[in-house]
Amino acid sequence: MSQWVGVVLFVVAILVVVLVHESGHFAFAKAFGIKVEEFFVGFGPRLWSVRRGETEYGVKALPFGGYVRIAGMNPFQEPTPEELPRTFGAKPAWQRATVIAAGPVTHFVMALLILAAFHAAIGAPSGRRPVIEGVEATLNGRPSPAAEAGFAAGDRIVALDGTPVGSTDRFIAYTRSHVGRPIRITVVRAGRELTLTATPVLSKVPGEKEPVGRLGVTLGEGRERLSPLTAVGRAGVETADTATAVVSHLGDVFGPGALKRMGQLLVGSTERRVNDPTSIIGATQLAGEAVKAGAWDFLIGLLVVFNIFVGILNLVPLPPLDGGHLAVLAYEKVRRHRPDPRKLIPLTTVVAGFIIVYALMVSYLDIVKPLPSPFR
């Protein structure tokens, strides 16, 4: 399938993510009787809009986000006495917190639903013997050992030199330790067992410093479809595990070491690594390559990680993020009064400026130094 199909699919998915995030804020504001003045996808010049009731809905030119304008959320706008009962600030703290948190929470719900749908429709990794998902035609400019031996997509690997193999990791470790030595590989194809012989050769792998032993195959685990209930349960566990991993790696994205590496990438000849931070531009490129390679599980994983990262980032307790608004509410609850919004302007400006500059730097790198492709 064309790489551009993947690009378009991912862009559409991002717009859906933005729409659902803002819909979370919108739905709870409406449910609590708070006036919502605008609901827009995108920023910048207005492309299209329509008014329905008291709310204007529309699309703007730059599809890098979206927003809902809720009456009373801007502390510098003075509502009229008639508007006051339906403003954000007039509602109880728990309702205001729910409206704010609803946006980030939608990302975790979307991640769970994406995983659950994939596990139910396509299947979840069974943890059983590895399956060949693709065979590379060449390695190092010559026919790959796998192609020469006659491997085919769909072959299930059951044994290496007569010893049963139970995992992808075992297969990779064995081929890397047998460079230059023939391996008898038993596979099951269309219900029949075949034994093929291939000799691993040294070849570069993205993310590895040195060449490693390879045959030229793309591996996956066997999949089994899950019942809807089981799929939701498994997706819930995977969503929680991914969220924990994202939190533990935030320092790798925004910490001092990450910023130092960013400087080296921008001004030096340092090459990018597979696990370096990427922007929407880089993620879209990866999505296109994933679809072209038929790696739908990679695309699903990319969408899941994107959702969880955005959800967690939005919960960081700094303005202007949603977490910053929640922190202000917590301050109000503890101190029994609202903080002076003018004192928050410098912090808000610094945080917003940092996020914008960081995003621009990573976007620039994604254009001039794209991430190494995991599919080559």
Taking only the tens place, the pLDDT of each residue in 288-302 is: 888 887 778 889 999
Does residue 74 carry a pLDDT above 90?
A: no
Question: Is the preceding omega at residue 319 within 30 degrees of 0, hence cis?
Answer: no
Place of tokens 């993947």: 6
Place of tokens 């709310």: 55
Higher pLDDT, 139 or 113: 113
- Per-residue pLDDT band at 2 (split at 50, 70, 90): low
Amino acid, res. 59: V
Higher pLDDT, 254 or 367: 367
- Per-residue pLDDT band at 125 (split at 50, 70, 90): confident
| Residues across the chain | 376
Share of the chain above pLDDT 90, in %: 60
Residues 6+ apart with CB under 8 A from 360: none
Residues 6+ apart with CB under 8 A from 17: 107, 110, 306, 307, 310
Establish whether 271 is a catalytic residue: no
Instruction: Give 156's strand partners.
Output: 131, 188
Rounded distance between C-alpha atoms, residue 115 and residue 118, angstroms: 5
Write out pLDDT tens, residues 203-212.
Answer: 987 767 788 8
**Residue 104 CB-density burial (10 A; 0-12 exposed, 13-18 middle, 19+ buried):** buried
Cβ distance 288 to 10 under 8 Å?
A: yes
Domains and CATH numbers, the chain: 1-35+71-121+226-376 (no CATH), 124-224 (2.30.42.10)
Instruction: Check residue 94 and give its pLDDT.
Output: 96
What is the DSSP track for 138-194?
A: EETTEE-HHHHHT--TTPEEEEETTEE---HHHHHHHHHTTTTS-EEEEEEETTEEE
Rounded distance between C-alpha atoms, residue 344 and residue 324, angstroms: 10
Does residue 375 carry a pLDDT above 80?
A: no
Instruction: Check residue 269 and give its pLDDT.
Output: 83
Does residue 328 carry a pLDDT above 90?
A: yes
Does residue 1 carry a pLDDT above 70?
A: no
- Average pLDDT rounded to a whole number, residues 100-127: 92
Instruction: Check residue 93 and give its pLDDT.
Output: 94
Does residue 63 carry a pLDDT above 60?
A: yes
Rounded distance between C-alpha atoms, residue 160 and residue 115, angstroms: 32
Q: Which of 70-84, 146-160, 312-326 has the lowest mean pLDDT?
A: 70-84
- How far lies 270's CA from each of 9, 33, 150, 259, in Å? 31, 54, 39, 14
Write out pLDDT tens, residues 253-282.
Answer: 888 888 899 999 998 888 898 888 999 999
Residues 6+ apart with CB under 8 A from 134: 153, 217, 218, 293, 294
Rounded distance between C-alpha atoms, residue 222 and residue 121, angstroms: 14
- Per-residue pLDDT band at 8 (split at 50, 70, 90): confident
The catalytic residue among 22, 136, 238, 289 is 22
Instruction: Check residue 130 and give its pLDDT.
Output: 84
- Per-residue pLDDT band at 338 (split at 50, 70, 90): confident
Does residue 224 carry a pLDDT above 80?
A: no
Higher pLDDT, 375 or 214: 214
Cβ distance 262 to 134 under 8 Å?
A: no
